[in-house]
Amino acid sequence: MSLRLSTVILPVDRWHEGGRAKWQRAEELGFHAAYTYDHLSWRSFRDGPWFGAVPTLTAAAIVTQRMRLGTLVTSPNFRHPVTLAKELISLDDISGGRITLGIGAGGNGFDATTLLRGDEQPWTPRERADRFGEFVPLLDGLLREPAGLTREGAFYAATAARNVPGCAQLPRLPFAVAATGPRGLALAAQYGQAWVTTGDPKLYEAGSAAESLDAVRGQVARLGKACAENDRDVDELDKILLTGFTPEFNPDLAGGRGGPFTSVDAFVDFVGRYAELGFTEIVIHAPVPDGSPGFSAAVADEELFERIVTQGLTQLAG
């Protein structure tokens, strides 16, 4: 598979005050796909604008023609498979079959607590994995069987849930499963058309680039084992790296904000190391507004961002 370059556009801009232009510019720059985060709010952006993923992607589908679109990632933290399936078939139809669902088990943060009553505790990692293990198969069934599906589990149920006419992409739109643990990797091997990682989060604060690369190499090996156990060729899965969360991007370790985004050559060198591990898609964050403390995953300068994309794509293709 050839290496592709994609982007994440955070849903922080009003549509008619810069939001629309960002999605259209992403397509003009030649990105393979543009994703957005599916959160209720996120990190330092909690007290500022943050718009919903599905309406944002719907609008983006209308103003773009070629580029794939999707979430990176959706989780069970505040989603239910039945309602999500209905939104996804609508999105896939509106976009002309250009939607990819990035999906993961979710984590701590605002999504994990916003819907809780005062006496409730957020799910533990094991509880999130349990729910994810039921969420993915049910969503898969709902999208593959539009005429009606009935299924009851420990956490989710569907009773004669209909999603006619089904997805524009058959047998359903692709899943990009974010996972690093054994249970998540097994779901990626069984249900995914792609696998997503951000690296090893434990290494961001105090690891090295070499340690991070080695950790990801181990993840790729475990993905291969999970695929073999499911009688599947690991090469069938796209392997997606969402950049910004490895030690190279930590300003305290990299000597300043940016890391691989300090120059086109630095970016190409960084990407090349992951291409050697078999990654087929690299995702970079579009520039975010000034005043976003604690977020160093994006290129700070718009002009540098566009040079990295256009010149970087040329060098990578070569």
- Of the candidates 169, 299, 306, 172, the one whose C-alpha atom is nearest the C-alpha of residue 243 is 299
Model confidence at 191, pLDDT cuts 50, 70, 90, reads very high
Span 289-312, average pLDDT: 79
% of the chain with per-residue pLDDT over 70: 96
Whether 254 has a pLDDT exceeding 70, the answer reads no
In contact, 217 and 271? CB cutoff 8 Å: no
The span from the CA of 182 to the CA of 86, in Å, is: 29
CA 302, 304, 309: angle at the middle one, nearest 5?
95
What's the pLDDT at 298? 79
When the pLDDT of each residue in the chain is averaged and rounded to a whole number, the result is 92
Q: How far apart are CA 171 and CA 15, in angstroms?
A: 32
Residue 314: per-residue pLDDT? 83
Give the pLDDT of residue 290.
63
Confidence category of residue 291, pLDDT binned at 50, 70, 90: low
User: Would you say residue 126 has pLDDT above 60?
Assistant: yes
φ, ψ of residue 275 to 5 degrees: the values are -60, -35
Phi/psi for 151 (5° steps) reads -155, 140
Question: Quick one: which of 19, 22, 314, 38 has its CA closest to 176?
Answer: 38
Q: Which domains does the chain carry?
A: 4-317 (3.20.20.30)
Say whether pLDDT at 221 is over 80: yes
pLDDT of 142 over the 60 cut: yes
Q: pLDDT tens-digit profile of 11-35?
A: 999 999 999 999 999 999 999 999 9
- Residue 228 confidence (pLDDT) above 90: yes
- Asked whether residue 293 carries a pLDDT value surpassing 70, the answer given is no
Q: Is the pLDDT of residue 202 over 90?
A: yes
Residue where the block lists tokens 């009935």: 150
pTM of the model: 0.95
Per-residue pLDDT at 219 exceeds 60: yes
What letter does residue 36 receive in the DSSP assignment? E
pLDDT tens string 30-54 = 999 999 999 998 888 888 899 999 9
Higher confidence at residue 164 or residue 205?
164
Give residue 76's pLDDT: 95
Task: In whole angstroms, give the CA distance from residue 285 to residue 305.
Answer: 9
pLDDT band for 280, please (50, 70, 90 cuts). very high
- pLDDT (mean) for 115-141: 93
Helix or strand (DSSP H, E) at 72: strand 68-74
Q: Residues near 158 by Cβ (< 8 Å), separated by ≥ 6?
A: 81, 82, 138, 141, 142, 149, 150, 151, 152
Residue 99 and residue 136: Cα distance in Å, rounded? 17
| Amino acid code (one letter) for 149 | L
Give the per-residue pLDDT at 133: 98
d(CA 292, CA 285): 13
Contact 87, 78 (CB under 8 A): no
